[in-house]
Structure 1
Amino acid sequence: MIAAKRILRKAQRQLACRKRKIAIEEIMESKGDPTTFYKLVRQQRSSTSMGTEFLTLNGKTAESIEEVTQTWAQYFQQLATPTAESTYDDLHLGKIQDDINLINQICNSSHQDDIPTITKDEIHTAIYKLNNSKAADIFGITAEHFKLAGPSLITALHCVYNRFIKNQKIPESIKRGILTPIYKKGAPDNPGNYRGITVTPVILKTFEHIIRQRHQIILEETQSRLQTGFTKGTSPLVSARPTYRVHNRI
């Protein structure tokens, strides 16, 4: 009887794994169609989705829904916690720490009065740049809510965002998000074979759009014309031809 149950559970896990792989392939193939992509992601996140029935972390296997959920939380917490690795490149680590120190120095030496206040026009533009048909955030809010709210919301956000700038701090409450593990490949019980996708609050996305647009203007004025990577309207391939020519002349 016990052996039969084990065989049945193994068959059920194999079937669930095959269904999960098919679902992930559909998600990956639908990246060119944002509507279909996010629809499939929402299905993956739903309570009826084909989530893994068991998960193994640090030699321990979780089988119940509660244990699997706790294991996911533990896994992603470990990913976000810095650890001392003996094989880590100390030179690279030193450069990163120098960059962090420089950023902190610039932030500490800047004055709030030097930062232009956010305008209602900036908020209006940022809201209408939000993509529709996306999953709701942790507060149950979507981009459509912001777009249909009208001028009253823009007035409220104008006060909130400028308070962020004045205090030079963003509340922890809107830094929260809904993290969904999406299966990639390999053993389905290994958390390392999943990619985490986080849905962040719409109020934070709108603020990020505003900051990004301001930074984009600065970059366009100061960035070298030879910089083609991560630059709108161009590609690293643009640099390939002149680089090839220079290489052949040397």
Structure 2
Amino acid sequence: MGCNIEEYEDYILSYVGQKKGLYGVGFLIKKSFKDKILNFTGISDRVAMLQIKLENQTLSVIQVYAPTERSPDTEVEEFYNNLRQAHNLTEGNVLIIGDFNAKIGQCKSEENIVLGKYGSAKRGFNELKLYKSWIQNLETNHNTTKTRQDILEHATSYYRQLYAKRDEDSEEKDNETEVLQHTTVKLIDEKELYQVIKKLKTQKSPGSDGISNEALKLGTPVLLSHLTQLFNMVLAEEIVPKQWCTSEIVLLYKKGNPKDIGNYRPISLLNSIYKLFAAVLLQRIERDIEKGQTIEQAGFRSGFNTLDHIQTQSV
């Protein structure tokens, strides 16, 4: 529980709650509106606010779950104080929605169409199992980021400085490359590519193109010839598509203060088609690479284990 933003395949869930199964409010947002989300603020387990950018206007949506008339006065007063706090944070047009626990009379039969066929809590629970959590905010020089754009800019600045070359004098050495003799590369045939596609692992995050390994596997009958033609074109021209040089970076929380950018590990999600092309090349050269490994290299090798060195020393 707590205040979280979770990204699923088709939608984004942002919510706030203190106790499982008790109170809690949130928003279910279509994935197509992802880049329009400006901010999500959880005021309490009864009040939350979402800000989105629609064309040239900002829309602030306040979601509420009001106490019932049987609730203590202190609880009711706290709810309205939280509602005022949320309203003070709004910008642009304001929309207040949710459950005010107000009775307006007998329910009409045609009002049942509001739930529709998606009114099943069980189905909703099953679809909430796989997700990516969003970073709520980060601390920057004793300040706290307020929007997703602030978080993006802070993370970009942090990792740009972290991975910058510290020793400019070594730049010339880095540019030194060994010139290899040019050889003709055998073209990729459909059978070779098909064998690699069959080995693709499922349930893997795609890159910026959104193409998953599942899509490549299911679409093999249609895609096989086109992918083979594309890969051979890359081999012949020795130029890769620009999209293959783009990755989507995801930050994985490790431990410590979740508001400290240094406590996250950046993971680059590459396009699946690029990884498929690389897998074909790896299959061709992995035997030669294995032959060149020394006996001391036990890590990251098939059939070897770093425990082999420990057992050798024990003897």
Give the TM-score taking structure 1 as reference length. 0.64
Gaps of 5+ in 2: 1-41, 46-127
How far 1:187 moved relative to its partner?
2.3
Contact 2:244 2:274 in 1 (8 A): yes
Matched, 1:228 2:311: no
Q: Deviations over 1:121-150 (max 9, x none)?
A: 221122122111223331121101111112
CA distance in 2 between partners of 1:224 and 1:187 (Å)? 42
The question of 1:43 aligning with 2:131 is answered yes
1:78 aligns with 2:166: no
| Higher percent of residues as strand | 2
Letter of the 2:138 counterpart:
F
The amino acid that maps onto 1:216 is E
In 1, the alpha carbon distance for the partners of 2:291 and 2:285 equals 10
**1:61 deviation in Å?**
4.3
Note the C-alpha offset of 1:223.
Answer: 3.2
Higher helix share: 1
Query: CA separation in 2, counterparts of 1:135 and 1:170?
Result: 22
Question: Which residue is equivalent to 2:6?
Answer: none
Does 2:253 match 1:170? no
| Cα separation, 2, equivalents of 1:149 and 1:132 | 14
Post-superposition offset of 1:243: 3.7
Report whether the alignment pairs 1:155 with 2:225.
yes
Q: Deviations over 1:83-131 (max 9, x none)?
A: 338xxxx9xx69x947x73xx32xx433151x22223222112212211
Task: Report what 1:67 is aligned to.
Answer: 150
Q: In the alignment, is residue 54 of structure 1 matched against residue 124 of structure 2?
A: no
C-alpha displacement of 1:59: 6.5
The change in CA–CA distance for 1:188 and 1:162 in structure 2 (over 3 A counts) is same
Residues 1:111 and 2:194 are matched in the alignment: no
Contact 2:138 2:260 in 1 (8 A): no
1:122-133 equivalences in 2 (<5 Å): 122-133=192-203
Note closer, same or farther for the CA distance 1:81–1:173 as it changes in structure 2 (3 Å cut): farther
Deviation at 1:191, TM superposition (A): 1.1
SS of the equivalent of 2:131 reads: helix
Gaps of 5+ in 1: 1-11, 16-38, 246-250
- Partner Cα distance (1:224, 1:67) in 2: 48
The answer to whether 1:195 aligns with 2:283 is: no
Q: Which residue in 2 is equivalent to 1:4? A: none
Q: Say what the alpha-carbon RMSD is for the aligned residues.
A: 3.1
Contact 1:53/1:68, CA 8 A, preserved across alignment: yes
Aligned-pair distance for 1:60? 5.9
Q: Which has the higher contact order (CA 8 A, sep 6+)?
A: 1
- Partner SS, residue 196 of structure 1: strand
Q: Secondary structure at the match of 1:109?
A: coil
Structure 1 segments, 4+ long, off by >6 Å, are none
Alignment of 1:219 onto 2:289: yes
Determine if contact 2:206/2:212 at 8 Å carries over to the other structure: yes
